[in-house]
Amino acid sequence: MSAAAQHLNDLWARGREFLGTEHAILGGAMSWISERNLVSAISNAGGFGVIAGGSMGPDLLGAEIDATQAMTKKPFGVNLITMHPELDALIDACLDRKVTHVVLAGGLPSGKAIAKLKDGGAKVICFAPALVLAKRLIRSGADALVIEGHEAGGHIGPVATSVLAQEILPNVADVPVFVAGGIGRGEAMVSYLELGASGVQLGTRLVCATECIAHENFKKAFIKAQARDAVPTVQIDPRFPVIPVRAIVNKGTEEFMETQRRVIAKHNAGEMDQLAAQLEIEHYWAGALRRAVIDGDVENGSLMAGQIVGMVKSEQPMAEIFAELLGQAHAAIDARC
């Protein structure tokens, strides 16, 4: 092992130990994308794949876990949405299949959910959008944290990765912290590890893996796009708060704006109550993302992507993507010595 490789192993040793992997690289849980094929490919390449539970019910999630376990003997996890109406049953599906790590996302998880997972033998990973919430999650029992910045794809928060890293990494030593959002090269991985991260999470960079089932049109849109093309959606009425979604601009982006206008007009006319209107706005994304990822409708579907999409230049096997990232990381370390 080279000196650079040894140094990288030392930098992310805590993350590797926590995940049980060769590399402390989590795969971001991307709806319709992070399923058995991509998840097993990430894990087989030495990283840590994560199934996107999304809107799956317990039976469907159980089948997906079973299928993934048949494709890899390496560790992988499951991402569950805390607001899912069947969260308790989804947790059971994970515990029944001895899933080692569960990521709770999409809202602040309850202490009850965290405790149930831990009592069942799973390690719990939570998203921390601010230092005060990071400390609260640790007190609630979170075993590790992910801090994800504004540069990421899909639903995003308001703060940049670089700022979150400076706010949280020097002040959280109790649990491993993984950094996500805007990471597309090995040099960036090293920089966050040197700031105190235990590992990183990548999403957009892995979409064009050969093993990923995303439609050819979806991958071509990623390869063609530049960083400036991936922009957040806009909320048009403060009565209907919309978590910004970063995606490549297309007709689907305009359709989301029109959906908001149409639904809000129905509410104003008394045809729909506020809760129903809010749900209809939020539900837009599930169908729009599927149209792009699975059906290949890249004009009208949602092209959720992070700003590093401009660094995705070709479709590559997962092992080759990891080799590139590690090569860049090792070169960066050698340049520092």
Same domain? For 199 and 252 the reply is: no
Give me the number of domains the chain comprises: 2
Same domain? For 282 and 331 the reply is: no
Instruction: For residue 255, tell me if it sits in a domain.
Output: yes
Instruction: For residue 42, tell me if it sits in a domain.
Output: yes
Same domain? For 29 and 84 the reply is: yes
Q: Which domain holds residue 263?
A: 226-304
Over pLDDT 90: what percentage of the chain?
85
Instruction: For residue 243, tell me if it sits in a domain.
Output: yes
Tokens 């894990």 correspond to 43
Q: Which residues contact 296 (CB under 8 A, 6 or more apart)?
A: 215, 216, 217, 218
Contact 299, 252 (CB under 8 A): yes
Same domain? For 147 and 240 the reply is: no
Instruction: For residue 103, tell me if it sits in a domain.
Output: yes
Instruction: For residue 221, tell me if it sits in a domain.
Output: no
**Cα radius of gyration rounded to whole Å, the chain:** 19
Q: Which residues contact 70 (CB under 8 A, 6 or more apart)?
A: none
Q: What is the pLDDT along the chain (337 residues), one digit of tens a residue?
A: 899 999 999 999 999 999 999 999 999 999 999 999 999 999 999 999 999 999 899 999 999 999 999 999 999 999 999 989 999 999 999 999 999 999 999 889 999 999 999 999 999 999 999 999 999 999 999 999 999 999 999 989 999 999 999 999 999 999 999 999 999 999 999 999 999 999 999 999 999 999 999 999 999 999 999 999 999 988 888 887 777 889 999 998 888 889 889 989 998 999 988 878 877 887 787 789 999 999 999 999 999 999 999 999 999 999 999 999 999 999 999 998 7
**What is the rounded CA–CA span in Å between residue 101 and residue 43?**
13
Which strands form 101-105's sheet, in the order they lie side by side?
25-27, 199-202, 177-180, 144-148, 123-127, 101-105, 76-81, 49-52
Same domain? For 140 and 176 the reply is: yes
Please give the pLDDT value at position 240.
74
